Amino acid sequence: ATVKGDVHDIGKNIVGVVLGCNGYDVVDLGVMVPCDKILHAAREHGAQAIGLSGLITPSLEEMSHVAAEMQRQGFDVPLLIGGATTSRAHTAIKIAPNYQSPVVYVPDASRAVGVVTKLLSIDHAEGFKAEVAADYEKVRAQHANKKGVTLVSLDAARANALPFSGTPVAPKKTGVTVLKDIDLATLAEYIDWGPFFQTWDLAGAYPKILDDKTVGEAARNVFKDGQAMLKQLIAEKWISANAVFGLWPANSIGDDVELYTDESRSTVLATTHHLRQQHERPSGKPHYCLADFVAPKGTPDWTGAFAVTAGLCIEKKLAEFEATHDDYRAIMLKSLADRLAEACAEWLHERVRKEYWGYAADETLTNEQLIREEYQGIRPAPGYPACPDHTEKGTIFTLLDAPANAGMALTEAYAMTPAAAVSGWYFAHPEAQYFAVQKIARDQLEDWAMRKGMSVDEAARWLAPIL
């Protein structure tokens, strides 16, 4: 199951296919599955193992909850952990201690069969379980003895902020803009194919991967199938893509950014709350915060937000594939929808830079240069290193009215639906760059909670991965 609050299931589906092809019966409970449903189904079907998947960081806490409930309810079957945000360290430190029976991290679909086979083997299970338990105990010991990241105080980090400089460029069009039913053939020209191969557990950079001695043949085959389906889905319009974005007058207030209704800047439309790097930085390097890229009050500036999806109407075609048990084509369609959603974000950002905001009107970049981000400005997404707070998506969706304008919604854990979706902020400053907020200290947690109007405990739940 993909755990409660999460809608991403491509990796889980591949695991299911791989296990099914190796003689295992797999019961796929789908996405956004609450703990009680998972455990009820496990008893109902006599499951010999339970697998949990998730992409967004709030899913990590949900997996820990499921493990604790399995312990409380007396389960003894192995628990398998997988998904993009999971890791061996997190499994060992945060999830495994909640459950006395085996908890095993499965890094990718290709390992699933080997892990399950060893766990269920009459001859090898006990040895494998002991090996995993010893490995995770070692991970926990190393973590306990680890010096960790050296943090500075929040006051010191703020004193080392990037000073604002330059004269911001006013957008040619402010307010919200809605673009519906975007031409898929246009978006296809903006696809970054690298992550497409990662979806299929094929490691290597595109296009070199197509000639790789180890995975080249498999890469060429899946790429050929993907290109054929892309051509068909465009011609037959299996899915549709929508986008909505907004550009507003804005100024920074410390680590926050105020967005205003109009150029009088007298009425605050929304306030966005950002986190600042707090780990020790080399001499001369600032402690970045996204608010640093917006001018403080007294200098007119602007910021933006966007939300795009290429997953609309996908359910009908997926149902057709599922009716004929064509798992391969169902997974292929989901992976292509993801690529088109990312392409839509790239295409839209280019149009904003050149037309709607216009600060880079003369920009002429190839798709390869776009992929390498050789343009001015950034579009960081909540949940990623520069802004690890998923709850900021709520502000974005409200500002843009994404449900009405783009057909998009948020789950209780702030996962976007449809799953093939991207949202984030626009910053135009020439020095704007991506960075990572690695860890924060208690002083910033408490400060951020106060700014967000949350309790410290609630804030800690959302920021758990960086505490």
Catalytic entry in 8, 274, 349, 390: 8
**316/418 Cα distance (integer angstroms):** 13
**How many Cβ atoms sit within 10 Å of the Cβ of residue 72?**
11
Location of structure tokens 């707090």:
278
Which tokens is 127 given?
């040895």
Number of Cβ atoms within 10 Å of the Cβ of 20: 14
Asked whether the beta carbons of 213 and 220 are under 8 A apart, the reply is no
Among this protein's residues, is 135 annotated catalytic?
no
Catalytic residue among 9, 53, 59, 256: 59
The burial class, CB within 10 Å (0-12 / 13-18 / 19+), for 169 is middle
Task: Kindly name the residue from 6, 256, 292, 338 that is annotated as catalytic.
Answer: 6
Q: In whole angstroms, give the CA distance from residue 393 to residue 330.
A: 28
8 annotated active-site: yes
Q: How far apart are CA 398 and CA 233, in angstroms?
A: 31
Separation of alpha carbons 63 and 51, rounded Å: 10
Closest of 112, 105, 47 to residue 76, by C-alpha: 47
Position of tokens 């903006």? 190
Alpha-carbon span 91 to 75, nearest angstrom: 18
Q: Would you say 317 and 333 are in contact if contact means Cβ atoms under 8 Å apart?
A: yes
192 Cβ neighbours under 8 A, 6+ residues apart: 206, 339, 342, 343, 346, 367, 371
Q: Which residues contact 49 (CB under 8 A, 6 or more apart)?
A: 77, 78, 79, 80, 116, 119, 120
- Tell me whether residue 76 is one of the annotated catalytic residues: no
Using alpha carbons, list the distances in angstroms from residue 130 to 111, 121, 164, 236, 374. 18, 13, 55, 53, 49
DSSP at 251:
E
Residues involved in catalysis: 6, 8, 59
